[in-house]
A and B are shown apart, each in its own frame.
Chain A
């Protein structure tokens, strides 16, 4: 039985009494959260892992690229990696002598290549299914594409899917949950029915349906993961709003005639965010898991893209190539683990803060 963490995460909210004593917004809360967080070694380790993955995602092009950082050729110096960015942004052109040249095969040139001198899409028809070796640290796949490059660039894809999908889920979930919790009565009833409908839909099945039928694209994947996983966030938000709505400072703001929208988003929401934050972190992990499942089934990933899940998909068809199974799976595992550790750490930190000190 697989359940996404979003739906089974416990609400972090506790006794109402303790919250009243917490500051309504502000730096004070988050700075002390960070201080407490730092005291948990496991969670901190997770956080550093997350940073490392983010680094790989952002700087992937510098870690694995078929163009060198620096090239000295026929007396002139070039910086192909950087120029490549500029050309793609249409801000520059390739000098004639560098047009579509094979850097590795230039005679009489000295070049400094990135640590992994391949892009994940570089095909080498003469080196399929290579076992891990000094040329290809993690081996190659059926078309000779370097797996390590695939790992590094795959981080970018997985993380962006995670962030965007959860971003969509947060926006939908918070807004709906806030409205439901704030207004109560029939609004709540209707929106709660909507929650039920979303819960009753077999999500994974729906994902497969949409991803398999519509032309594959990363954005579609992000969108559908996001639009099917907002219910947990919505529920927490709704519960928090229901609770905070009745606190004195809110009722007085309403009595003073502050407009609903301001009350909701300026007064209540910042205090209601704690469980949402935890859900976001866990949700990113969940979205990465779902995406890997989809690309493992061979759907939702455009043909030219190499993702962690698509390499696993190949692995199941070529079981002798164990490196295709071990590395991408480990990457997903480490990513998800680090997000879980951070999420759990945050939850523990935020929980007692809200319940008062135990």
Chain B
């Protein structure tokens, strides 16, 4: 499993959807349009898959690229030491021979690398490449700050022999195995032809920027600049071409090392083409006229544009959950929202079920907590705060809110001063769903004497305000992955200061202790128990009003087989087309 496929699971672009090889339980909660049964019949190679991309990726450098379009592509080109079984979500070896040997103190991880893997240009893959990959990530001059932070606790990496690598970790943390297993293996001879990093150790890379050697500087410079459009890895698909604004093409590697090997995903489709159409309506027209084989539909298209008999006979729609959720974040240090009764009341005022129906066109589910609800850690017994404005008003009354001056707005005495119930909801520009939620909430609150204003801000300004806690309430979302959750970053009180991710300043001592304990817990069952208690705390405190998890809908041309809705979404690597139905034939060579 590689960070590239993590990034794919990030689903930064909801409309591009999530394609990854990670999953949770096999419980599928699709609607009637979902087909979950894999098809019978023997997969055959051949044919193309023409998918849709809303925009060009920024670039295709596996370490420095940061957008979902890029991750979507890179996951087929690069591979990592470990991967995840698509159904059970367990870690499986890929480039490594087996899962790592972990020392008793959980500080050393030793991976043995398989000897039969090679890169797309034929060069054999060895430990040197893995070592190079971690060095490239840790090099502070390489433009990969977000990736690098993941690996902060990796203090050393060394080759025990040509095919064995050992990592040393600062502190035990149960996610380390998947982090290390997720390193994309880059070919050293390609990305560092001059072998500039040969004698550099991880300790060298920790020095401040001005003390780094000239070789390191040159390597980073070349690496950042020269590899935006020419990725090369060990994966089943080779990068073929990129016509900016038009299309990107990947081709199946005929010499892929993984053919016929047990436990390795077999590729069938000859080519993956991504047509770049930045207008969704145009993309739908293209889909209907045969120019695309699959695309992600937006809710309007799903409900209105794709219901004809003709469409149904040509395409099959699949809907699946994306591991993200939206929420209303109440600034827990704000005089009005300090009281948890007020926050609870706000949740009662939010008609989440109807919002899913109207704003999301039914493509979503209400959630009551921050864990992806396909994960075992998600507590299904959490109490649901159904829309109930009467309860909300009761709670507000209990908290001391009433309209004492007859101006139509509730007020209360807070910190000795009379405070009217006025506040501002901040939303970012460019997201119609969250903006709609804010407007609906505003309208509802007005009926009960609460004056909320909605302020739409540019994304960067919005983020800047969130970082410094300059808000009363915000509408935002978190994009997660299907992997094991770790709520420390968002909910621990230490992250409330210094622009950490605990935006709303949630501070609860018991929750803190649970979060700390969880990280050091290597037994999955105990972890699940800990998180149950954690979610109950959140449910009682309502620091967020949890809104919903979104669903994506894809329409796929019916000639394509092997399409299955997995907990992580759809996985095109499994897809194939029976030879009689193949539209583009067996043209493997580029033309």
Contact = CB atoms under 8 A, between A and B. Distances in A.
Given A93-B407, A125-B351, A302 B447 contact: no
Contacts of A128: 358
A102 B455 contact: no
Contacts of B461: 215
A63 B392 CA distance: 34
Interface stretch (B224-232, B338-346, B438-446): B438-446
Contacts of B432: 317
A303 B454 contact: yes
Contact of A302 (B351, B446, B456): B456
B458 A93 contact: no
A126 B358 contact: yes
A80 to B, nearest CB: 12
A64 to B, nearest CB: 16
Contact of A303 (B358, B403, B439, B447): B439
B290 interface: no
Interface string B59-98: 0000000000000000000000000000000000000000
Interface string A110-131: 0000000000011101101000
Interface in B414-437: 427, 429-430, 432, 435-436
A102 B442 CA distance: 16
B408 A123 contact: no
Nearest to B410: A100
Given A96-B406, A99-B403, A303-B427, A123 B439 contact: yes
Nearest to A93: B406
Interface in A116-162: 121-123, 125-126, 128, 142-144
A123 B440 contact: yes
B432 to A, nearest CB: 8
Contacts of B300: 317-318, 320
Interface in A246-305: 298-299, 302-304
Residue of A87, A123, A144 ringed by the most chain B CB atoms within 10 A: A123
Given A125-B355, A304-B442, A93 B454 contact: no
Contact of B455 (A142, A212, A302): A302
Contact of B436 (A122, A142, A299): A142
A87 B408 contact: yes
Contact of A100 (B405, B449, B455, B458): B449
Contacts of A5: none
Interface in B346-371: 351, 354-355, 357-359
Contacts of B438: 303
Residue of A99, A122, A125, A128 ringed by the most chain B CB atoms within 10 A: A125
B510 interface: no
Given A121-B443, A143-B440, A94 B406 contact: yes
Contacts of A87: 407-408
Given A99-B408, A123-B439, A319 B427 contact: no
A288 B260 CA distance: 66
Interface string A304-317: 10000000000001
Interface in B377-410: 403, 405-408
Contacts of A90: 407
A329 interface: no
Interface string A77-100: 000000000010010011110011
A93 B446 CA distance: 16
A87 B300 CA distance: 41
Interface in B266-304: 281, 300, 304
A216 interface: yes
Given A125-B355, A303-B454, A320 B304 contact: yes
A303 B435 contact: yes
Nearest to A95: B406
A102 B443 CA distance: 12
Contacts of A126: 354, 358
B453 interface: yes
B440 A215 contact: no
Contact of B358 (A96, A125, A299, A302): A125
Contact of B458 (A96, A212, A320): A212
A215 B406 contact: no
A319 to B, nearest CB: 7
A213 interface: yes
Nearest to A101: B447
A304 B454 contact: yes
Nearest to A302: B456
Contacts of A319: 281
A319 B429 CA distance: 22
B447 A100 contact: yes
A94 B408 contact: yes
A144 B358 contact: yes
Contact of A94 (B407, B442, B444, B455): B407
Residue of B357, B405, B429 ringed by the most chain A CB atoms within 10 A: B429
B102 interface: no
Contacts of B444: 123
Interface string B545-563: 0000000000000000000
Residue of A94, A100, A213 ringed by the most chain B CB atoms within 10 A: A100
Contacts of B447: 100, 102
B467 interface: no
Contacts of B107: none
B547 to A, nearest CB: 14
B460 to A, nearest CB: 9
A165 B439 CA distance: 28
A43 B225 CA distance: 63
A346 B446 CA distance: 47
A56 B299 CA distance: 36
B457 interface: yes
B429 A298 contact: yes
A303 B426 CA distance: 10
A93 B432 CA distance: 36
B217 interface: no
A304 B439 contact: yes
A144 B440 CA distance: 10
Given A215-B455, A215-B461, A125 B407 contact: no
Contact of A99 (B281, B354, B439, B449): B449
B448 interface: yes
Contacts of B436: 142-143
B397 to A, nearest CB: 14
Contacts of B427: 303
Residue of A93, A142, A303 ringed by the most chain B CB atoms within 10 A: A303
A199 to B, nearest CB: 29
Contacts of B351: 125
Interface of B: 281, 300, 304-305, 351, 354-355, 357-359, 403, 405-408, 427, 429-430, 432, 435-436, 438-440, 442-444, 446-449, 453-458, 461
Given A94-B408, A303-B438, A318-B304, 9 more contacts: A99-B403, A100-B446, A125-B357, A143-B358, A213-B458, A215-B461, A216-B456, A318-B300, A320-B300
20 contacts: A87-B408, A93-B407, A100-B447, A100-B448, A122-B443, A123-B439, A123-B444, A125-B355, A125-B357, A143-B439, A212-B458, A213-B458, A215-B457, A216-B429, A216-B456, A302-B456, A303-B438, A304-B442, A304-B454, A317-B432
The 5 nearest A-B residue pairs measured at CB? A93-B406, A303-B456, A123-B443, A303-B454, A125-B354
